[in-house]
Structure 1
Amino acid sequence: MTTTLIVLAHPERRSFNGAWAEASAEASRRLGHKVLWSDLCGQRFDAVERAEHYAQVQKDQPFDPLKAQGGRPDGNGLPRDVAGEIAKLQAADRVIFHFPLWWFAPPAVLKGWFDRVLVHGALHSVDERFDRGRFLGRKAMFCVTTGATEVECGPGGKEGDLSLLLWPVAYTLRYLGFTVLDPVSVHGVHGYHEGAAQRALQARLTAALAAQEGVIAGFDARPALRFNADAEFDAQGQLRPDAASHSPFIRREG
């Protein structure tokens, strides 16, 4: 049985993001999947890594998050909320992230989830990352809303290219070994529409919710984002001269 983890990063479960996440969950269940949930705001997930999370941290010493997380291969000894999230990730074949874009990035709670949950030892190691990551064969996808229009969020758009704004979170999952699929986006989602514009927005949102069943059904056939393979870097970690660049984030000078 396929296990799908839904990660929702929005403070209002009744929002479109919440309804969209529910649509992903329902479509997955209709396919016979086991569905797991991480409603980060609903479960009051603490996005800030801090010494208080760890009983074993010596309070008279500077807090070192990496050392506190401790490289525990089984996750034992980690904070209960973190251990619970790790267990869900380890069980999932698919992870679908639902979130809005705020200030050109995902909400802070999602970044904090990455900071606290993706711990060295339990989910990755020096020798188990990228092409040798523990999550090879598993897939992740972003379902994202923006307040700006699709044109503004496209190449040359004033709000910045959405594909580039999402690259850091996509590469975070790539680090673990995930295959990251092309994102699904719904634009112009904000509360200032009125009259005909509001009715048009509601029609678009209703259509997006209805279309999600097809998105989930076609999940495995969806194109994946391209990243450079480990073999395309030299011993110093530089992109080799004969390797193509797939992103402005990894490129050669000139």
Structure 2
Amino acid sequence: MTTTLIVLAHPAPTSFNAAWARASEEACRAFGDTVLMSDLYDLGFDPAERAVHYPQGVATDPFDVLKTQQAASETSALPQPVLNEVDKIRAADRIILHFPLWWFAPPAMLKGWCERVLVNGGLHDTDNRFDTGLFRGKSVLFCVTTGSKAAESAHNGKEGDVQMLLWPLAYTFRYLGFDVLRPHVVHGVHGYHKGAARDALQERLRGALMDQRELLENYAALPRLTFNADDEFEGGQLRNGAPVHSLFIRQDP
């Protein structure tokens, strides 16, 4: 049986993002999955990492996030909201993240969730990352909305290549050992459409919700992002002749 963790990072429970997350939940339950939910705004999750989250004597002074998280992981002193999320991640076979793209990046809530929940010493360490990550064999899918049109979010679009904008988040999960599926994006989602344009958007969004079950039914066949293997680096840099999968890591011009 598959365990699926669905993470929603949108403040409005009536938003398309929220409805999309519910469609994922309904589909996964129909498949017989065990479904875990994390609606981050509904949970009141605090995305800001800081020393006051930890018991006295655990947080370093000055506050060092990596050392504090490691000490808290080793002494069972992680903050309860963080521990709840850590337990879900460990239990999940796959994670589906639902979020909008704001200011060319995921919302601060989701970034903060990563910073606080993907704890050093618990979910990764220097010996367990990338090809030796603790979550090898598990996968993550991003279900993302943009306000921009698909053409504007293309590799030559004025809003920037959406796949590039999402690459840092994808590499975050790659760092932990996850397989990262190619993000699934719904474009042009904003509240300024009027008249026929608004009607067309609503029809398109209804179609996306109806299509979610089929998308997840074919989950195993969805394309994966490709990253460089550990042995393709030497001295922390890409070996000459190694393949290039992203402009973020590339050969000398």
Alignment TM class, shorter chain as reference: over 0.9
> 2:135 maps to what in 1?
135
| One-letter amino acid matched to 1:149 | K
Residue equivalent to 2:48? 48
Alpha-carbon contact 2:6-2:38 (below 8 Å) kept = yes
Structure 1 distance, partners of 2:76, 2:216, is 34
Tell me which residue corresponds to 1:182: 182
Q: Does 1:121 align with 2:142?
A: no
Unmatched runs of 5 consecutive residues or more in structure 2: none
Pairing 1:101–2:111 present: no
Task: Provide structure 1 residue ranges, at least 5 long, that are not aligned to the other structure.
Answer: none
Alignment pair present for 1:243 and 2:247 = no
Q: Secondary structure at the match of 2:238?
A: coil
Amino acid at match of 2:120: H
Q: Report the Cα distance in structure 2 between the residues aligned to 1:143 and 1:135, rounded to whole angstroms.
A: 20
TM-score (norm 2): 0.97
Aligned with 1:78: secondary structure?
A: coil
TM-score normalised according to structure 1 size? 0.97
Matched, 1:63 2:63: yes
- Structure-2 separation of matches of 1:13 and 1:75: 36
In the other structure, the counterpart of 1:158 is 158
| 1:212 to 1:241, Cα distance in 2 relative to 1, 3 A | same
Give a deviation string over 1:88-141, Cα, whole Å, max 9, x none: 000000100000000000000000001001111110111111011010000100
Q: Tell me the amino acid that sits aligned with residue 29 of structure 2.
A: R
Q: In structure 1, what residue type is equivalent to 2:209? A: L
Q: Aligned pair in 2 of structure 1 residues 60, 179: CA closer, same or farther (>3 Å)?
A: closer
Residue 16 of structure 2 contacts residue 205 of structure 2 at CA under 8 Å; is this kept in 1?
yes
Asked if structure 2 preserves the Cα contact closer than 8 Å seen for 1:72 and 1:120, the reply is no
Q: Could you list the per-position Cα deviations for residues 180-238 of structure 1 after superposition, in whole angstroms to 9, with x for gaps in the alignment?
A: 0011111000000010000000000000000000111011110100100111111x111
Q: Contact 2:60–2:67 at 8 Å: present in 1 too?
A: no
Alignment of 1:80-95 (within 5 A): 80-95=80-95
Q: Distance in 2 between matches of 1:224 and 1:153?
A: 20
The percent of aligned pairs where both chains have the same amino acid is: 58
Aligned-residue offset at 1:57:
4.2
What is the identity, as a one-letter code, of the residue corresponding to 1:25? E
Cα distance in 1, alignment partners of residues 83 and 32 from structure 2? 26
> Relative to 1, partners in 2 of residues 1:221 and 1:121: Cα closer, same or farther, differing over 3 Å?
same
Distance 1:30 1:51 in 2: 42
Q: 4+ residue runs of structure 1 moved beyond 6 angstroms?
A: none
- For these two proteins, the number of residue pairs brought into alignment is 253
Task: Tell me which residue corresponds to 1:13.
Answer: 13
Question: CA offset at residue 59 of structure 1?
Answer: 8.3
For the 8 Å contact 1:73–1:123, the answer to whether it is kept is: no
Task: Work out whether residues 228 and 245 of structure 2, in 8 Å CA contact, stay in contact via their aligned partners in 1.
Answer: yes
On the 8 A contact 1:10/1:99 being kept in 2, the answer is: yes
Q: Residues 28, 68 of structure 1: CA spacing in aligned structure 2 closer, same or farther, 3 A cutoff?
A: same
CA distance in 2, matches of 1:58, 1:163: 38
> Where does residue 168 of structure 1 map in the other structure?
168
What's the C-alpha RMSD, in Å, of the aligned pairs? 1.4
- Higher mean displacement: 73-82 or 83-92: 73-82
